[in-house]
Amino acid sequence: MNPVIGRRLRRHSLLEPSTDPVAVVRAMCGAHAQVMSAAELSIGLRTTLTRQQVRDAVWVDRTLVKTRGPRGTVHLLPAADLPMWTGALSRLPHRSRLLTEEQSEQVVAAIAEALRDAELTGDELTGEVVARTGPWAGERVMEAFGGTPWPRWVEAMGTASNRGAMCFAPNKGRKTAYTSPQRWSPGFTPDEAGDVELLHAYLRSYGPATPAHFARWLAAPKRWVDGVFARADVEQVEGGWVVRGDTAWPDEPPGGVRLLPYFDAYVVGSHPREVVFPGRAYERALSGGQAGNFPVVLVDGLVAGVWHQKRSGRRIVVTVELFKALSRARSAELEREVVRLGGFLEGRPELTVGPVSVGGHA
């Protein structure tokens, strides 16, 4: 059994469920929330909370904030950790194709001012940004996934998020809305040591890890990452680096069957890929080495299958494709995990073991 896997499972609350969504998201180094339901499920399957309680942590209690995190993708992050995250992400080098450096600064300032005391849709925010900068900001020149091009100013949204000038607000009907995290965490400022703190957090959750692993997880250039490692309080062990002194390994072997949704942090952040995705899993559950495109079945912390859910009313058909047969005890664990899944999703689950025919992101 791999003690590194056992340590990661415990630190990700995948051995014993937690009652604290903030602690769980902090230990994950953010919950991927491009698809909000997947983020909710990532948290729910690590806790004893209901789906509504997870949603309340974001939109009522404001202890979690929906914003851009690693790789510029949408994540749920602890609101209390925004100084660390913005301190780290705002220092990443950024290249703009559509905006000059001066224009980018103007847009970020306009966003911060417009959202200081408001919740605005994209169209409403476009009007406010154009009014504060100029017509050039509203020119529709940015590609938009096959649809109508986005306004020029949208290219600065990532920078604005990284600096803490904007985050997501509750949707207005079907429209995405934005606001300022300053409304929920008044007075916060980016932490000058945030990049080192973020590296330490990553290593506590995913270590031992190498600079290349951290760079891939964060989508950061090698030179920048090497500089962060040089200033961090870390030590090298077999397999990579850990925070200095954080060298305890669990005595018990990793155990259990778990279902993880799309882009769950455990599989996205864990390396080496060939260890976490052994044998057939490397070909079946990855997309060109990229983790997260398929919901996965973990057995003893390693990817041992993929799964898919299809809902009709309260009925949820959960199809599980296993890469090797499970023992009777493990099969019983899988059945219990499907029951947990259905309980969180407030449905009536039905387990089917067989091929998953749909592709990634289905």
Tokens of 54: 């997870």
Helix or strand or coil: residue 251? coil
**Which residue in 50, 31, 34 sits closest to 42, CA to CA?**
31
Distance CA 45, CA 200 (A): 25
Find out whether 76 and 31 touch, Cβ atoms under 8 Å.
Answer: yes
Query: By the 8 A CB rule, do 280 and 257 touch?
Result: no
Q: What would the two tokens of residue 329 be?
A: 């005890």
Q: How far apart are CA 317 and CA 340, in angstroms?
A: 14
Residue 247: its H or E element: none
129: Cα separation from own chain's centroid: 28
Residue at token pair 């703009």: 96
Q: What span, in angstroms and rounded, lies between the C-alpha atoms of 22 and 10?
A: 16
d(CA 160, CA 90): 9
Element containing residue 34 per DSSP (H, E): none
Cα(110)–Cα(117) distance, integer angstroms: 13
Give residue limits of the domains in the chain: 1-90+190-254, 94-189, 257-353
Quick one: pLDDT at residue 331?
97
Nearest Cα to Cα of residue 344 among 144, 53, 96: 53
Say what the pLDDT of residue 251 is: 81
Residue 272 amino acid letter: P
Q: Which long-range contacts (CB under 8 A, 24 or more apart) does 301-305 make?
A: 301/2, 301/5, 301/6, 301/8, 301/9, 301/14, 301/254, 301/276, 302/5, 302/275, 302/276, 302/277, 302/278, 303/267, 303/276, 303/277, 303/278, 305/281
Helix (H, G, I), strand (E, B) or coil at 193: coil
Sheet holding 348-353, edge to edge: 257-260, 296-299, 302-312, 315-322, 348-353
Amino acid found at 181: P
Torsion angles phi and psi, residue 63, rounded to 5: -80, -20
DSSP state of 361: T
Q: Per residue of the chain (362 residues), what is the pLDDT tens digit?
A: 588 999 999 999 999 999 999 999 999 999 999 999 999 999 999 999 999 999 999 999 999 999 999 999 999 999 999 999 999 999 998 888 999 999 999 999 999 999 999 999 999 999 999 999 999 999 999 988 777 899 999 999 999 999 999 999 999 999 999 999 999 888 899 999 999 999 999 999 999 999 999 999 999 999 999 999 999 999 999 999 999 999 988 887 778 999 999 999 999 999 999 999 999 999 999 988 889 999 999 999 999 999 999 999 999 999 999 999 999 999 999 999 999 999 999 999 999 999 998 877 65
Spatial separation of the C-alpha atoms in residues 114 and 122, rounded to whole Å: 12
DSSP states of 66-107 = EEE-GGG-EEEEEGGGHHHHHHHHTTS----SSS-HHHHHHH
What is the distance between the alpha carbons of residues 345 and 313, in angstroms, rounded to a whole number? 11
CATH fold of 94-189 = Arc Repressor Mutant, subunit A (1.10.10)
Reduced to 3 states, what is the DSSP secondary structure of residue 206? helix
Tens digit of pLDDT for each residue in 1-44?
588 999 999 999 999 999 999 999 999 999 999 999 999 999 99
69/203 Cα distance (integer angstroms): 17
pTM: 0.95
Which tokens hold the place of 293?
């495109």
- The pLDDT value given to residue 362: 59
Among residues 169, 52, 27, 65, the alpha carbon closest in space to that of 111 is found at 169
Task: State residue 361's pLDDT score.
Answer: 66
User: Given this model, what pLDDT does residue 184 score?
Assistant: 85
b/e 200-224 (16+ beta carbons within 10 angstroms → b): bbbbbbbbbbbbebbbbbbebeeee
| 175-179/234-237 β-pairing | unpaired
Is-contact 57 21, C-beta < 8 A? yes
pLDDT of res. 354: 96
